[in-house]
């Protein structure tokens, strides 16, 4: 059974994950508006991953006898100065989510909730992957600078990304 503190913290994380999905959906709209279908696809996959993460938390709370409580999702930013600025915002957001996951892990340890700590280990590893993935895009965009041809080629490469639900 989850402690009251752990249940609240996990419910708050559902909201954070859904906000992430909403933010990435706003980025899909931004990239579509810029005719960067590959970048829009990449962010669509991010949206799907974050929704998957939210549902993992949702199901875990229920499995542990807790009560899922949903709160309003804040309105995300929807405009950026450039594709690089949007991807840098995504990288900053992933670092924020990593911090939240670490805080959840610290709470699980403090509460001596070994089941939640075990559950959260998956997210600790996932965040390493998330940060690395978005950082790779940021670094490539920085290398391109203002090279429109390079952006076109990168957009084409970004279109190849597909969502594969992780094995859990």
Q: Is the pLDDT of residue 69 over 80?
A: yes
> What's 167's DSSP letter?
P
Give the pLDDT band (50/70/90) at residue 7. Answer: very high
- Give this prediction's pTM: 0.95
Candidates 3.40.50.10420, 3.40.50.2300, 1.10.1740.10, 1.20.1260.10; correct CATH number of 4-70+80-158?
A: 1.20.1260.10
Residue 167 has pLDDT above 80, yes or no: no
Mean pLDDT of 83-108: 98
The whole-number pLDDT of residue 146 equals 82
Q: What's the distance, CA 31 to chain centroid?
A: 17
Q: How confident is the model at residue 33 (pLDDT cuts 50, 70, 90)?
A: very high
What local confidence, expressed as pLDDT, does residue 148 receive? 86
What are the structural domain ranges in the chain? 4-70+80-158
What number is the average pLDDT over the span 26-50?
A: 98
Q: Nearest to residue 83, comparing CAs of 19, 2, 154?
A: 154
pLDDT of residue 108 exceeding 80: yes
Residue 168 has pLDDT above 70, yes or no: no
User: What average pLDDT does the segment 103-112 reach?
Assistant: 98
Q: What is the radius of gyration, based on Cα positions, of the chain?
A: 17
User: CB under 8 Å to 9, separation ≥6 — which residues?
Assistant: 103, 104, 107
What single string gives the DSSP state of each residue in 86-119? Answer: HHHHHHHHHHHHHHHHHHHHHHHHHTT-HHHHHH
């Amino acid at each position: 059974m989850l402690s009251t503190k752990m249940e609240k913290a996990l419910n708050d994380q559902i909201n954070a994950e859904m906000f992430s999905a909403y933010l990435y959906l706003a980025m899909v709209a931004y990239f579509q508006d810029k005719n960067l279908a590959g970048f829009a696809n990449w962010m669509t996959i991010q949206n799907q991953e974050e929704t998957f993460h939210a549902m993992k938390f949702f199901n875990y709370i229920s499995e542990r006898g807790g009560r899922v409580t949903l709160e309003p999702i804040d309105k995300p930013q929807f405009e950026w100065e450039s594709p690089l600025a949007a991807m840098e915002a995504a990288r900053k957001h992933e670092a924020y989510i990593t911090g939240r996951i670490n805080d959840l892990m610290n709470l699980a340890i403090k509460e001596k909730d070994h089941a939640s700590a075990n559950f959260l280990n998956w997210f600790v590893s996932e965040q390493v992957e998330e940060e690395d993935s978005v950082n790779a895009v940021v670094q490539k965009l920085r290398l391109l600078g203002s090279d429109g041809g390079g952006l076109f080629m990168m957009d084409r490469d970004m279109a190849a990304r597909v969502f594969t639900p992780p094995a859990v």
